[in-house]
Chain A
Amino acid sequence: MRFKKLLSIFIILIVTVAHSPADEFFPKDNWKDLPNPLASPQAKVGGEMATFAGQYPNSLNYYLASNILTSEVFSAMYDSLLTLHPLTAEYEPMIAKQWSISDDKTTFTFWIDERARWSDGEPITAYDVEWTFQAIMDPKNLTGVFKMSMEKFLPPEVVDEHTIRFTTKEVHWRNLLALGGLNILPKHIFEKKDFNKINFQFPVVSGLYKLGEINEGLFIKIVRRDNWWAKSEQRFQNTGNFQTIVFRFFAERENAFEAFKKGLIDIYPVYTSRLWVNETKGEKFEKEWIVKQKIYNYEPAPFQGFAMNMRRPPFDDIKVRKAMAYLLDKEQMNRTLMYNQYTMHCSYFEDLYSKEAPCKNKVFNFDKEKAMALLKEAGWQVNPQTGFLEKNGKRFSFKFLNRDSSTGKFINIYAEDLKDIGIELKIDQKDFATWMKDMDEFNFDMTWAAWGSVIFKDPESMWASTEADRKSGNNITGFKDKVVDVFIEKQKTIFDVEKRHEICRQIDAIVTSQCPYILIWRINYIRLLYWNKFGTPSTVLSKYGNENSAYWYWWYDEDSAEDLTDAIQKGRYLPGCKASIFFDEEFKE
């Protein structure tokens, strides 16, 4: 009787499994733990790298303060469920040794690596993952940004100590990205603490680095751990080589540059052309004690431009917006103010194009006649008595909401060109917080906005109509387009990156034709200065990374450091380094 019952259960199970949609398991069978192709086999562990960080952060808890420095330090201390391959950007195991996605793409199961350990020797379990999720979702915790990406999931189900299952309410390619990128925190250390007060004390970690000395306002040090649980994995060999990484804080970038030149900082990324062209001269640079390099890699391209508020006149009229774009002489600004260092934008997704598949979007080069014609079509006429551009007796005048005084020189040139044809541009200078408030209330005509980019493009927050009326959103121009909305919905359920990119290119063409921003310029390489005492891979930086990838791929080269000291003492030259590094030329698989 008992046997029959068991048999019937077994048969039912087999039938159920046979008819249920199959889960897809990862990593695939052919996946192997291979060495990181970008890491140099010559790398050695040890030494220190001192780098520049801006203002002292108010927290190192990335879930509470999501800024760049916090992100670097937090992800060095806490491993995530999955990691990305440095070349293909495909998911690879980290804390989770295996994961599966259900056929309907709504259920994600993760199997935690039994070898994964906290720094106090305790195993990392599914309960830690569950607690991290709960901490993010707890209404009293100020984890707002992460709540948004996690709220699409139901509370996870702990199957066993090493297995956890997440179910989502909505199919979206972003779901796995959100879960895989989750930095897991130790439940046994933090569960009784007020999460909002976990800011600078992280006694137990899981990552390669732990928090070292903190001298508030001056520096934060992270120290390499010898007992990192994943240290024997092939893919992590020759990465994370520095024994200590020091983040030194400077309120002013100019002061940091002076400290860099005195050797207090080892690496300094340059963000302004004046500094790159004019301030990098002298013995230290000529004799190659300081290396000056341009790095051309595949870092996701940001975009910047003058955002126009399409919610109200005069920029609700596409002809006016296009005219405004024609009136910006950005090439001249580039020549006269920025030493011809920049290339002009033609897209909102610049890195989706290449020489082989160039961007075909319309470029708005400076052309006053075209601008005047468009303004005339839009009903704006010059009043011969006043010389002002007017429509229905109202003068064309608008405010440029600005928050960075260093940009005034560019806006003033623009204002002069506008004045020539009778348009008045008034600069409304605000500080960051006030600017933010005005932006949230859509109380602006035009502003300067720069947006970062990521490998996996998600156009929703920037271009969806539903985002246009939401406060603190990224669709600051109020852009609405039904075709774009259809594309955005469509790409949500596409898991093939290249297919999504094709949709992004289509969205890009539509958005560019609508001209919500006057796109300005970009730099298509990373400007890097560093003291010549480090070993670097041939590509110098990673494929998709910025200057911060140096922390992971470089190493302290004792011979080079001694050579540098000797060169400084004797005033001699060091062997020259390449001035430009092209990723594709340096990296051959």
Chain B
Amino acid sequence: MEYFIRRLLLIIPTFIGITIICFGLIQFVPGGPVEEKIMQMRAATSGEGGKGASATTTITAEYRKQLEAHFGFDKPFYKRYFKWLITDRIGLKMESYKFPNKTALQLIRERLPVSLIFGITGFLLSYLICIPLGIAKALRHGSKFDITSSVIVFIGYAIPAFAFGMILKMLLCGTVEGLWDIFPVTGFQSYNFALLSFSEKTKDIFMHMFLPVLCYVIGNFAVLTLLMKNSLLEQIGKDYIRTVIAKGGSSKRAIWGHALRNSLIPIATGFGGILMVMFAGSVIIEQIFEIPGMGRLSLEAIIGRDYAVFMAILSLTSILTLLGNILSDFCYVLIDPRITFNK
């Protein structure tokens, strides 16, 4: 317990260290909200059929200074960091540079449903499918089932998520004539979502999220399945299992009662990640399917130099990662009481 309290307290200086470094780094990144704002005004473009920036739009030095003051860049670093940390509650109360009517917290809250669907479904699917599959593969090691399932999960692992997404869209979304048109091509919900009944809304979200979630989890299957399989195989080959069988125990008892529990220890490292379901998402998948999730919010914040949102996401993910690590350690102790972190 003492160890966990110490770990919890250590989160504070670690968090401050992370945020000072990141806050400092973004000050040195070339281009910022001021340039972004100016760029939007001039709508600068390039490209093959470039329609062109507004040739009549000019920005004065005074206006640039005004923008700098508006975004607070006229104040010294330490003042800005203190305001961000204390007054703006780690930036959560700070107004987004990109969406000036909303705070970073409001924007994160709006994107949470998408991330929760990604996170919870992904987490559950991964563990509910991969652990039984890994066990089944270990028990049938070398069989046709083992080889076939390995081929399938490795194909899923090998195909990049964006390519898989594009293939699924072409096959199942009606973008190619003559193929199936089952799922919506983009978006998180239909345009008439507000008018739908509860069951229709559930179906609508299911239809919109099926392909993106499939793309999201497919890559994780191989790692978790093979980790489970190899871990169980390793345990099955150990002396204590041989001892159980030698003492007259059935092989079923040896595997399900002894080996399985120990083989779950490496899997438990991922349990801490359950906290991260709130921030789950994939930039590429969200981009392909035009889903307004946390991945796209982060990307948009970085590209759009929306430091308020970027820092808020970074802070929350840092805190959740740190807490998740402690949770993973806690899971170790739960699974294997022999593990102790106290000296």
Chain A residues whose CB sits within 8 angstroms of the CB of B181 once the complex forms:
262
Query: Taking the complex as formed, is A271 at the interface, i.e. its CB lies under 8 A from any CB of chain B?
Result: yes
Contact B58 A473 (CB under 8 A): yes
Q: How far is the CA of A454 from the CA of B48 in the complex (A)?
A: 20
Contact between B175 and A432, CB atoms less than 8 A apart: no
A396-B298 Cα distance, complex, nearest whole Å? 41
Q: Could you say which of B149-157, B184-192, B196-204, B236-244 contacts chain A?
A: B184-192
Question: Which chain B residues in 38-79 approach chain A with CB under 8 Å?
Answer: 38-61, 63-64, 66-67, 70
Q: Are B58 and A436 closer than 8 Å at their CB atoms?
A: no
Smallest Cβ distance from B90 to chain A, in angstroms? 23
Q: How far is the CA of A461 from the CA of B56 in the complex (A)?
A: 7
CA A302 – CA B61 in complex, angstroms?
Answer: 26
Stretch in A90-98, A399-407, A555-563 touching the partner: A399-407
Q: Does residue B288 face the partner (Cβ distance < 8 Å to A)? A: yes
Least CB separation from B54: chain A residue: A452
The proximity string for A residues 67-80 relative to B, scoring 1 for CB distances below 8 Å and 0 otherwise, is 11000000000000
In the assembly, what is the distance between CA of A434 and CA of B302, in Å?
Answer: 12
**A218-B191, A450-B52 known; A144+B41 contact, CB < 8 A:** yes
Distance A453 CA – B146 CA, assembled complex (angstroms): 65
Q: Which A residues touch B45, using CB under 8 A?
A: 404, 450
Query: Is B185 a contact of A452 with CB atoms below 8 Å?
Result: no
Q: Is A200 an interface residue (CB 8 A)?
A: yes
Question: Quick one: which of A197, A217, A462 has the most chain B CB within 10 A?
Answer: A217
Task: Given A258-B185, A264-B191, A472-B64, answer yes or no on A433-B39 (Cβ-Cβ < 8 Å).
Answer: yes
Q: Does A424 contact B (CB under 8 A)?
A: no
Query: A282 an interface residue at 8 Å Cβ cutoff?
Result: yes
Q: Does A573 contact B (CB under 8 A)?
A: no
Decide: A250 and B186 in contact? CB cutoff 8 A: yes
Q: Which of B162-205 contact A (CB under 8 A)?
A: 169, 173-175, 177, 181, 185-187, 189, 191, 194
- Judge whether A219 and B61 touch: CB under 8 Å: no
Q: Give the docked Cα–Cα distance between A471 and B38 (Å).
A: 11
Residue in A closest to B96 when the chains form the complex, CB atoms: A58
Q: Does A252 contact B (CB under 8 A)?
A: yes
* A453: chain B residues within 8 A (beta carbon): 52, 55
Partner of B101, one of A139, A200, A462: A200
In the complex, the answer to whether A434 meets B59 with C-beta atoms within 8 Å is: no
Chain A residue with the shortest CB-CB distance to B29: A434
Is A403 a contact of B43 with CB atoms below 8 Å?
no
Q: Annotate A544-559 by CB proximity to B: 1 below 8 A, 0 otherwise.
A: 0010000000000000
Determine the distance from Cα of A246 to Cα of B35 in the docked complex, in whole angstroms.
Answer: 30
Taken together as a complex, chains A and B put the C-alpha atoms of A199 and B98 apart, in Å, by 12
**Does chain A have a CB within 8 A of B32?**
yes
B64: chain A residues at CB < 8 Å are: 471-472
Kindly state whether residue B30 has any CB partner on chain A within 8 Å: yes
B38→A304 contact, CB < 8 A: no
Asked if residues A461 and B58 are in contact (CB atoms below 8 Å), the reply is: yes
A199 to B48, CA, bound (A): 33
Contact across chains for B63 and A144 when beta carbons are under 8 A apart:
yes
Given A144-B67, A250-B186, A472-B64, residue A451 in contact with residue B55 (CB < 8 A): yes
Scan residues 250-266 of chain A and give those whose CB is less than 8 A from a CB of chain B: 250-252, 255, 258-259, 261-262, 264
Min Cβ gap A239→B in Å is: 24
A218-B187, A218-B191, A471-B64 in contact; A437/B46 too (CB < 8 A)? no
How far apart sit A432 and B63, CA to CA, in the bound complex (Å)?
A: 19
Could you tell me if B303 and A451 are in contact, using CB atoms closer than 8 angstroms?
no
| B68 vs chain A, min Cβ distance (A) | 11
CB-defined contacts of A261 to chain B, threshold 8 Å: 175
Report if B336 contacts A (CB, 8 A). no
- Pick from B36, B55, B57 the residue with the most CB of A within 10 Å: B55
The reply on A216 being an interface residue by CB < 8 A is yes
| A303 and B296 contact, CB distance less than 8 A | no
Give the distance to chain B from A137, nearest Cβ to Cβ, in Å: 12
> Are B55 and A523 interface neighbours, CB within 8 A?
no
B99 contacts partner chain A, Cβ-Cβ < 8 Å: yes
The residue on B at minimum CB distance from A177 is B56
B46, A407: Cβ atoms closer than 8 Å = yes
In the assembled complex, the CB of A307 is this many whole angstroms from the nearest CB of chain B, namely 10
Instruction: Give min CB distance, B145 to chain A, whole Å.
Output: 38
Q: Indicate whether A440 reaches chain B with its CB closer than 8 angstroms.
A: yes
In the bound complex, how far is the Cα of B169 from the Cα of A147, in angstroms? 47
Closest to B174 in A: A262
Complex formed: what's the CA distance from A199 to B181 in Å? 38
B110 at the interface (CB under 8 A from A): yes
Cα distance, A271 to B169, chains bound together (Å) = 23
Q: CA A434 – CA B100 in complex, angstroms? A: 22
Determine whether the beta carbon of B41 is less than 8 Å from that of A145: yes
Interface check A148, CB cutoff 8 A: yes
In the assembled complex, the Cα of A436 lies from the Cα of B31 at a distance in Å of 7
Judge if A449 is at the interface, Cβ distance under 8 Å.
Answer: yes
**Among B47, B99, B288: residue with most chain A CB under 10 A:** B47
Chain B residues lying within 8 Å of A218, measured Cβ to Cβ, are 187, 189, 191, 292
For the complex formed, measure the closest distance between the CB of B298 and the CB atoms of chain A, giving whole angstroms: 13
Q: Are A454 and B50 in contact, with the CB atoms below 8 A? A: no
Instruction: Tell me, yes or no, whether B287 is within 8 Å of chain A by CB.
Output: yes
The 14 listed contacts between A and B (C-beta, < 8 Å) are A144-B63, A144-B67, A215-B194, A252-B287, A261-B175, A262-B175, A407-B47, A431-B31, A434-B35, A436-B31, A436-B44, A437-B31, A449-B44, A449-B46
Q: A272-B48, A452-B52 are in contact. List 15 more A-B contacts (CB 8 A).
A: A66-B54, A67-B43, A215-B191, A272-B47, A284-B177, A404-B45, A432-B31, A436-B31, A437-B30, A437-B32, A452-B53, A454-B55, A458-B56, A471-B59, A474-B53
Interface residues of B (CB under 8 A from A): 29-32, 35-61, 63-64, 66-67, 70, 98-101, 110, 169, 173-175, 177, 181, 185-187, 189, 191, 194, 287-288, 290, 292, 296, 300, 303-305
Show the binding face of A for B, using Cβ within 8 Å: 55, 58-59, 65-68, 139, 142, 144-145, 147-148, 196-197, 199-200, 215-219, 246, 248, 250-252, 255, 258-259, 261-262, 264, 270-273, 282-284, 302-304, 338, 402-404, 406-407, 410, 430-438, 440, 447-454, 458, 461-462, 467, 470-474, 523, 546
The 10 A-B residue pairs with the shortest CB-CB distance in the complex, in nearest-first order: A450-B50, A433-B31, A144-B63, A452-B52, A302-B52, A472-B59, A271-B49, A434-B31, A448-B46, A450-B52
